[in-house]
Amino acid sequence: MAHHKSAKKRIRQTEKRRLHNRYYKKTTRNAIKALRLNHNAEEAAEKLPSVISMIDKLAKRNIIHKNKAANLKSKLMKHVRAMAS
Domain boundaries, the chain: 13-84
Task: For residues 70 and 66, give the distance between their C-alpha atoms in angstroms, rounded to a whole number.
Answer: 6
What DSSP string runs through 12-80? Answer: HHHHHHHHHHHHHHHHHHHHHHHHHH---HHHHHHHHHHHHHHHHHHHHTTSS-HHHHHHHHHHHHHHH
pLDDT value of position 84: 84
pLDDT value of position 85: 80
pLDDT value of position 78: 97
Tell me which CATH code domain 13-84 carries: 1.20.58.110
pLDDT value of position 53: 98
Predicted TM-score of the model (pTM)? 0.88
pLDDT value of position 50: 97
User: Could you list the pLDDT tens digit for every one of the 85 residues in the chain?
Assistant: 889 999 999 999 999 999 999 999 999 999 999 999 999 999 999 999 999 999 999 999 999 999 999 999 999 999 999 998 8
pLDDT value of position 41: 93
